[in-house]
Structure 1
């Protein structure tokens, strides 16, 4: 029997952590023990608290999902908080992984770390080619530093610390808080409340023109598990749907209206900021490894996400 893996997932009760839990529970592998931890288990911004967590569970592998995250407007007003909290968190997790002999760490980055002024599609070689978009520079620079740290730990100590760069993630167990949610869960919550209050207008901030690639959390979870087991490069890898799957925010709103069977109208508040117009990512590297990977169709993933929220809105992170 191969060596037993003890895999600790930080941020394990969030959107991606819950999706990974769903995937690995369906496999029921005997050579892996999965531990999903949350902020209730440790304050990862505090080194001593992080050390106690590692001493308690003694992981051989770590998937590092924990982060301070939020949508466009939350980032714009709290760039310092996003920078400091994420720098502390990431440094503590990587240092404790090194000190306790963790064999592999897979950290989660984001496509928003890429330069604001760049050519498209973006790929893994372009992360540090210029400043990120000013709306979320705190979060972006903190996440970029994971890539820098991974290479430094490998160079100095031979650690296999790597990272993945997902495009925009959505799915069950998302964060639906209007102040800190990302675009799809934020719009799901807004349309749910509109319908619940008897409204007939679905108000969407911005013009609806920006383009995004969205990945369903269960698809991302399957790819995360593959990275943990099979991907042994220190260099990051983009985990994204194909370029032709990019959709506008207007298209997102229309799919939500269809999934909710909403009979009212969509109105775009063009006085509100759009953020970055596009950040198209290339998944060419992923396709070299997994040419036949099948992503869930966008409309089906939206419908499943809407259905989950409608059934679980009282328990969801609102």
Structure 2
């Protein structure tokens, strides 16, 4: 991407979109186009068409989506499939109409079958039933991948699909019902400590395994792939290591300093048993992300005072020294 290129980041206020914007700014790009949901409703077909016609972006990162944890996905099933399909359809189609040079569609590890072999290879897409609790969201994401494929096949569009593992980082969603497992746990343990509770209850058995990647490391990978990856097939982004939900819970308990008990509610669903990404393809392209045993080693709080806490949006914009952390990336020359 030329430094003078006009780049549209859809979903720039979210965890992934904001990380991509930070990366682009750090790389010296100065024509980054963003719109909040109040300024541009991506579900509005005409509004999106007008935006693309007026702005004429050359590159698009499609990181906008309706997201949530297992509770929200299971309750608001219609909202998740409708809103995500609508956003994707509008942005992808209008990228074609506007002659966008390249688009990156950000998907999710939930696209893979519930009982797929581990680690999850890109070839496993559509080889078995999906996890029931988030099936509508997963179907929408699969549709986005196939839409990029279709526009590539029919119109020659350079639209690529990237499938990240579970993420955490700045601008994460800490909503008590609508957040993903890691931020939900941070909030739960944080509040339990403040309120002096004797226990924290975790849904399910604690046995499922999850992989976690820092969003700013994903942004590094996205930038690398936008520069070097032009193939029709989706590509996974992750660490290649994971930990159980039980291990995660005790890790967060230790960092937060919660002194009560952890109990698991076996009457609640576990979700997919394991979602470990196979990142062989990404490594072969020349990009790796290294983290300490695949575990987030500092979830929140200032390095100076060592007090874990939820980060404010103002603090999130500050340097990376007081962050929810991940690993350090290792990047070799791109293979073209």
Q: 1:14 to 1:47 in 2, by over 3 A?
A: same
- Greater fraction helix: 1
Shift of 1:106: 0.2
Instruction: Please give the secondary structure, in 1, of the residue aligned with 2:253.
Output: helix
The match for 2:280 is 284
Which segment is superposed worse, 47-56 or 183-192?
A: 47-56
The match for 2:168 is 170
Deviations 1:207-255 (A, max 9, x none): 111001111111111111111122111211000111xx21101111112
The match for 1:261 is 257
The match for 1:6 is 6
Instruction: Please give the secondary structure, in 1, of the residue aligned with 2:264.
Output: strand
Instruction: Please give the secondary structure, in 2, of the residue aligned with 1:5.
Output: coil
Q: 37, 40, 47: which one pairs with 1:39?
A: 37
Residues 212 and 296 in structure 2, CA contact (< 8 A), matched pair in contact too: no
Q: 1:315 to 1:288 in 2, by over 3 A?
A: closer
Q: 255, 271, 295: which one pairs with 2:267?
A: 271
Q: 1:188 to 1:2 in 2, by over 3 A?
A: closer
The match for 2:298 is 303
| Matched residue count | 311
2:242 matches 1:246: yes
Question: TM (normalized to structure 2)?
Answer: 0.86
Shift of 1:99: 0.5
Alpha-carbon distance in structure 1 between the residues aligned to 2:138 and 2:230: 24
2:27 matches 1:48: no
Shift of 1:294: 3.3
Q: Could you list the runs of 4 or more consecutive aligned residues of structure 1 that deviate by over 4 angstroms after TM superposition?
A: 306-309, 313-316
Q: For 1:84-95, what aligned pairs fall within 5 Å after superposition?
A: 84-95=82-93
Residues 259 and 306 in structure 1, CA contact (< 8 A), matched pair in contact too: no
The match for 2:191 is 193
Residues 171 and 313 in structure 2, CA contact (< 8 A), matched pair in contact too: no
Question: TM (normalized to structure 1)?
Answer: 0.91
Unaligned runs of 5+ in 2: 303-307, 317-336
Alpha-carbon distance in structure 2 between the residues aligned to 1:23 and 1:302: 22
Deviations 1:100-146 (A, max 9, x none): 01110001111111112322222111212223111111111111011
